[in-house]
Amino acid sequence: WSMKIEFIGSMLLFAFSLLNHKIKTKWLLFILAFISAFYFKQYYYIAFLLGYALCALNKNKQLEIRSTIIKLILLVIAIMLSSFPAAWQYWDSSMYAFIHFKAIDLYSFYHVIGSGLLLFLIIGHQPSINFLSIRSVLFLGKISFPMYLFHLILLVLIANPLFLLFLPCF
């Protein structure tokens, strides 16, 4: 399901970068794109915009927050939003009830904003950058996408025959 979003999001980001390249009011176009994605409930495309904005802000050294208290508050907010339950049955009967609006379904929007906040905090935290630069972590990042592409094939070729093999035992 995510391949379509990743492909279209990448193409939209290339188009956005092309349009945004020579415009002096870059942030105006960014805000307009953000509002459009939100209005049309295309929340996952907002993740691409957030990545673009974080990259631009980091490049211009505008991402620094010095206050540890603010960083901790943002971390709690990021974790809370990122862990918002996707199952609607839990929205009103959990600690998330105060951010659930019955009129609109925002769970994927919350996930995107929470992960964007988490990325924002990681970019500004040198120990996190150092950890993510370790050779073994880089290797896991390198193989994660091919594993994602082939995991269904492996499940069908390996797990299904094993299940059928051991089914009589149960």
Q: What is the pLDDT of residue 107?
A: 82
Q: What is the pLDDT of residue 170?
A: 64
pLDDT in tens, 21-77: 878 777 888 899 999 999 998 999 999 999 999 998 898 888 889 899 999 999 999
User: Of residues 105 and 82, which shows the higher confidence score?
Assistant: 82
What are the distances in angstroms from CA 112 to CA 22, 47, 68, 82, 136? 28, 6, 23, 7, 27
Query: 10 Å Cβ neighbour count for 53?
Result: 18
pLDDT for position 86: 76
Phi then psi for residue 15, to 5 deg, are: -65, -40
Residue 75 makes CB contacts below 8 A (sequence gap 6+) with 117, 118, 121
Which tens digits make up the pLDDT trace of 90-144?
667 777 777 776 656 788 899 999 999 999 999 989 999 999 999 999 999 999 9
Torsion angle of the four alpha carbons 110, 112, 113, 115, in this order, in degrees rounded to the nearest 10: 110
What pLDDT score does 152 carry? 85
Residue 163 pLDDT: 86
